[in-house]
Amino acid sequence: MSIEHRGSLLQIFNEQLRLFSTDTILFHQTVAEQLGLNSTDHKCLDIMMENHSMTAGKLSELTGLTTGTITGVIDRLEKVGYVIREKDPGDRRKVIIQVNKEKAEKDIMKHLQSFGQSIHAMFEQYNDEQIQFLIDFVERNRDILRNERKKLKE
């Protein structure tokens, strides 16, 4: 493969990744709107669902958002019934944010069901080795994104 051909492929791939990123953000914004949320609320809910219960401070740490912003996120999520604030039984000064996982999953999944089916159909076209390559690519890409995000915040 010539250097020019490789450069051209990498340029096309980079453009496709950029477009993929934009499409992903716009898709999740649309899902969030269907849930009566904004995209930040939606992704914070996703983080809380993955990590179960946590304090607002922990969510702030995981997202890099200010505690004031997180308070607004939790207020909005609580208003629509996706989270509940509970006193920490071990330290009454702390508030633990519990996710109403059943409601969140039910509401979110009705908006993601078609997407999931389409993704499943797409993956049927790949063999296990190709899927493993894609997993590796995504994992390495996430590492780069987290490291670059950390650099930007420093």
pLDDT number for residue 98 = 94
Q: Residue 82: which of 106, 57, 116, 56 has the closest Cα?
A: 106
Q: What Å distances lie between residue 126 and 122, 132, 144, CA to CA?
A: 8, 10, 25
pLDDT number for residue 125 = 97
pLDDT number for residue 53 = 87
Rounded distance between C-alpha atoms, residue 135 and residue 105, angstroms: 24
Helix orientation angle between 39-51 and 67-79, rounded to the nearest 10 degrees: 90
Stretch (H or E) spanning 100: none
In CATH, the architecture of 3-123 is Orthogonal Bundle (1.10)
Residuewise pLDDT in 10s, the chain (154 residues): 778 898 999 999 999 999 999 999 999 999 999 999 999 999 999 999 998 789 999 999 999 899 999 999 999 999 999 999 999 888 888 899 999 999 999 999 999 999 999 999 999 999 999 999 999 999 999 999 999 988 998 8
Rounded distance between C-alpha atoms, residue 131 and residue 122, angstroms: 11
User: What residue spans define the domains of the chain?
Assistant: 3-123
At residue 106, φ and ψ (nearest 5 deg) are: -60, -50
pLDDT number for residue 92 = 82
Rounded distance between C-alpha atoms, residue 96 and residue 57, angstroms: 10
pLDDT number for residue 143 = 96
How remote is the C-alpha of 98 from its chain's centroid?
Answer: 18
* DSSP letter (8 states) at residue 55: E
Do residues 41 and 73 lie in contact, with contact meaning Cβ atoms separated by under 8 Å? yes
Helix orientation angle between 56-63 and 39-51, rounded to the nearest 10 degrees: 110
pLDDT number for residue 97 = 95
